[in-house]
Amino acid sequence: MRTTLAPEMGGCRVLGQVLGGWRRGPRVHVAPETAGFGTKARHQLQPRGSSKWFRPVGNQPFPGLLRPQSLSREELVDVLKVAVVDQKGPLVTLNKPQGLPVTGKPGELTLLSVLPELSQSLGLGEKELQVVRASGKETSGLVLLSSCPQTASRLQKFFTHSQRAGRPTATYCAVTDGIPATSEGKIRAALKLEHMDGVNLVVPVKSPSRKDILEGVKKTISHFRVVATSSGCALVQLQPLTVFPSQLPVHMVLELCPVLGDHTYSARVGTVLGQRFLLPAESTKPRRQVLDEALLRRLRLTPSQAAQLPLHLHLHRLHLPGTRPQDAPIELLAPLPSYFSRTLQCLGLHYQ
């Protein structure tokens, strides 16, 4: 089997060869405040079972947060079984925990590395699962898996055609430190990957030339909509119209409103006398996100706890084609992580 990888917004899309079909998937209710863009979910599907590897809600600062580095392969398979929200035909849909990488170096524990065991555990026998679409390591949310390469190929063509036509298929939910200047709009930026201090970082490029485009600079676009604001923060829905690594966190930094838990790019936003401005990306090193004292009090976090704040970016909705051309599109919705819901409650962010 040949597997192809393409970069996603902070994650990846993994697609295979051709063989199989498609059946209508689930509708999974998020929360009323994040159902998004006027969409109403019909019913709710919760992950099956329970897990001892997720932190309890209680008084924990980040309830439900997974620590994948402490898991064995068998334990990770059990976690992923719990995260499955629907299994129909060749398609398996799960709600990926934050912090779990999709791909990695040989020998690393990733989603891709345990797919053979997960396929067996879900009773698929010789039909090994492939990743069709997934959020990145630091992003939580929907993951599409398929045991049928033809289904993966069909969806790849759908995603590619939708992107070329400027039709968004994915909606992310984010909490930002800061409130965008406008309630809705498009963020446009030319981006490139640059190797800095031993890591690959995304850097904006002003007025890219034709040579820049040929050398890997990509013009990117994201649509954003502010759903609610409170305590100097915003609940924002993001729809990427292009595909580039870390596109959404970088776009929100360009709006001077970094995503909560962004410990890579938030340092590019400086403040002087209460006014925010962009620091040069090329000379600004990644560091732990710094939140002001008032926000820490609202979040009920100490500075040391805030340094461990997970990225509040969740792939919560996907639009897919129906089984046949005459069928209505399929909508998949994934519940928010518990720590994400706690943050919304602490900040008083509600759908308006």
Q: Is residue 290 in a domain?
A: no
Q: Is residue 66 in a domain?
A: yes
Q: What would the mean pLDDT of 10-15 be, rounded to a whole number? A: 40
Q: Is residue 231 in a domain?
A: no
Q: Is residue 174 in a domain?
A: no
Q: Is residue 235 in a domain?
A: no
d(CA 183, CA 169): 21
Q: Is residue 305 in a domain?
A: no
Q: What would the mean pLDDT of 86-103 be, rounded to a whole number? A: 91
Q: Which domain holds residue 91?
A: 4-168
- For the chain, give the percent of residues with pLDDT over 70: 83
For residue 285, name the pLDDT band (cuts at 50, 70, 90). very high
Residues pairing with 41 in the sheet: none
- For the chain, give the percent of residues with pLDDT over 90: 62
Q: What would the mean pLDDT of 251-271 be, rounded to a whole number? A: 97
Q: Is residue 187 in a domain?
A: no
pLDDT greater than 90 at residue 343: yes
Q: Is residue 188 in a domain?
A: no
Q: Mind listing the pLDDT tens digit for each residue in 331-341?
A: 898 999 999 99
Q: CA torsion angle for 116, 117, 123, 124 (degrees, to 10)? A: 0
Cβ–Cβ < 8 Å for 287, 267: yes
pLDDT greater than 90 at residue 125: no
- Locus of tokens 């518990």: 338
For residue 60, name the pLDDT band (cuts at 50, 70, 90). confident
pLDDT greater than 90 at residue 294: yes
Q: Mind listing the pLDDT tens digit for each residue in 304-325?
A: 999 999 999 999 999 988 877 7
pLDDT greater than 70 at residue 44: no
d(CA 96, CA 221): 25
Q: CA torsion angle for 23, 24, 25, 29 (degrees, to 10)? A: 180
Tally of domains in the chain = 1
Q: Mind listing the pLDDT tens digit for each residue in 223-252?
A: 999 999 999 999 999 999 999 999 999 999
Min mean pLDDT across 63-67, 156-160, 162-166, 192-196 is at 63-67
